[in-house]
Amino acid sequence: MDVPAFTAPSFTASSFTALSFEGALERLEEIVRQLDDGKTDLETSLSRYEEGIGLLRHCHSLLGDARRRIEMLRGVDPNGGPIVETKNESDFRTEIH
């Protein structure tokens, strides 16, 4: 019996651009639940895993964008307006465990 070759789906960064951070995280959590329950076949599991990796990258990208937009309040000016300093990506250090 011939076994069909596995064709991996091609998830690219553009596959997820329409998803908000919350939407991507919700889908990622759903995928984790599906993989944890052990009821999916191998091919479906591999496909979900690859989708999850793409979603994880998308979430990291969105978090990086958010970090770049964070401003640190440095005080108030003589008129009572906020004095802010925009933080650069290099100002943040993250560890992935």
DSSP secondary structure string, 74-95? EEE-TTS-EEEEEPPGGG----
Position 31 pLDDT exceeds 70:
yes
| pTM confidence score | 0.62
Residues 54 and 16 sit within 8 Å (Cβ to Cβ): yes
When the pLDDT of each residue in the chain is averaged and rounded to a whole number, the result is 80
CA 1 to each of CA 4, 41: distance values in angstroms, whole numbers, following the listed order: 10, 19
Residue 4: per-residue pLDDT: 55
Nearest alpha-carbon partner for 43 in 7, 12, 1: 7
Angstrom distance (rounded) from CA 23 to CA 19: 6
What tens digit of pLDDT does each residue of 38-84 get?
999 999 999 999 999 999 999 999 998 887 777 666 778 889 888 87
Pairing, β 82-86 against β 71-76: antiparallel
Position 21 pLDDT exceeds 90:
yes
